Chains A and B, each alone.
Chain A
């Protein structure tokens, strides 16, 4: 479904992505772990096209997309959420979902019709609101809901374009371990054919959702395997207790 081949990127002297390859099957849930500054977000930015890699290829559903612009990759079924909330703050929760859904249905292109009254758009909004538990907040302005609800909306907006693959950049950042576990239970209820690549900070939290785990350190893949193998890995313990500590 998503394949990355030999991705490489420098920011000046920083070698932020080092020959990274990765393959996700349809419906796979893979978690990327790694300390602060390991290059996780930059890796996502290259997959969606916000940052151009120096080398390497990105394939989406059997098609190479390395040269495509950000919106064109999105229209092919790639979606992402951000580490820092990237929402439409002047709109309501429901309008945030609606604007994303209307891009998917192309209602967003109409100079005449209001997409938020479009039936297909409303159906997607209702469905996504159910999936990420936003039903009670649909009419509330984004600025009136709690940070936790905004994190749900951040993922909801990414879901509302009905993508095949979603990259979630630390969806649980800043909400505390207990709520993070419920957040992951929510992710586990998403349709099973949806492919998820999730950046997580905390190894324990990764086990909630991961079919497979990739660990990045200094831009390099230092581990790639099952959650069980990750649990037993001495290398991971070392990173975990070393630089990870201050993460």
Chain B
């Protein structure tokens, strides 16, 4: 379940403002970085839904993104489908793929869950790598962007494309927040907190897990469609398990189970990658050290750290009610 606290709405507002400022002021290279941040954020929000809120650590989200990208690229370049319909088709397909992965994995816990998702991811990777129809190792080139000329928008323009990605990211964030406050989202968090009790109350746990994985898959698929449109070329590398691993690093870096954490984490990750890789080829070492520091600090990622500080400030100005509650019992009730 997602709680929209004042700190979180403030953080979302701030990120949106910064994003818009950057989108209007940045030059070509800055816009590329911003697009990368927006697409990675979307993938990581999908991962946060299952991992942060549902406790299902997935190593196949890169593959879901890749399936979305391939579905979009395949439908547009091979069947000549309308890009908009191809986008919808890709999202539906990744939704189904996510649902199936969730349904199959629902019974596994911990490391076994991770391994089964990894196996799914590797199967998808191997399929596209070997498939001649999808260009095998070479991938697919000439992937078109959506045609929004009817709205007077040319997505071939970098600034328009980044704004398009950011609008979709905002919608996805709101959508995810809504889902997580729904019956499904609350059931998911109940299962993460106390699966035994949820089952004893009448919840068939695979159902909530599979549906959430399906919705998460749709979001990852949309991120894949955007990634394909962004570079206009895709290869099996998109489905590599390292993409899933990177998404996991980002969600832990930003903060799990907050929906804000993925945005913060993706921004930090992409900026570190570009800034540090300009100085040294060992930029992975730098992200590694930062990740270790964040985890060792005991905070829930970068956003979790600031959130905890701000909540402490807010609570200091509130009267204490705890003493009264602690006395309660059936005796005086």
Contact = CB atoms under 8 A, between A and B. Distances in A.
Contacts of B198: 103
A175 B203 CA distance: 30
User: Mostly helix, strand, loop or mixed at chain A's interface?
Assistant: helix
A144 interface: yes
A157 interface: yes
B309 interface: no
Contacts of B211: 111
Contacts of B204: 69, 71-72
Nearest to B328: A149
13 contacts: A69-B199, A71-B200, A74-B201, A86-B194, A86-B197, A86-B200, A109-B184, A111-B185, A113-B182, A115-B183, A145-B325, A157-B201, A175-B330
Contact of A152 (B184, B189, B330): B330
B298 interface: no
A144 B203 contact: no
Interface string B190-212: 10011011111111110100010
Interface in A77-92: 79-80, 82, 86-91
A103 B203 contact: yes
A215 interface: no
Nearest to A111: B184
Contacts of A146: 325-329
Contacts of B189: 90
Contacts of A144: 321-322, 325-326
Nearest to B257: A90
B201 to A, nearest CB: 5
A99 B186 contact: yes
Nearest to A149: B328
Contact of A71 (B1, B178, B203, B327): B203
A134 B183 CA distance: 23
A247 interface: no
A240 interface: no
Q: How large is the interface on B (under 10, 10 to 19, 20 to 34, 35 or more residues)?
A: 35 or more
Given A86-B196, A111-B182, A111-B215, A148 B330 contact: yes
A71 B201 CA distance: 6
A204 interface: no
A183 B333 CA distance: 11
Contacts of A135: 333
User: Mostly helix, strand, loop or mixed at chain B's interface?
Assistant: helix
A139 to B, nearest CB: 10
Closest 9 CB pairs of A and B: A148-B329, A133-B333, A74-B202, A110-B183, A108-B183, A111-B184, A115-B183, A75-B202, A70-B199
A83 B204 CA distance: 23
B312 interface: no
Contacts of B205: 71
Contacts of B182: 110-115
A80 B200 contact: yes
Interface string A120-148: 00000000000001111100100011101
A222 interface: no
B273 interface: no
A99 B190 contact: yes
Interface in B307-326: 321-322, 325-326
Looking at B185, B189, B198, the one whose CB has the most chain A CB atoms below 10 A away is B198
Contacts of A104: 202
Contacts of A48: 200
A71 B202 contact: yes
B184 A148 contact: no
A74 B181 contact: no
Contact of B183 (A80, A109, A140, A182): A109
Contacts of A69: 199, 204
Interface in A58-74: 69-72, 74
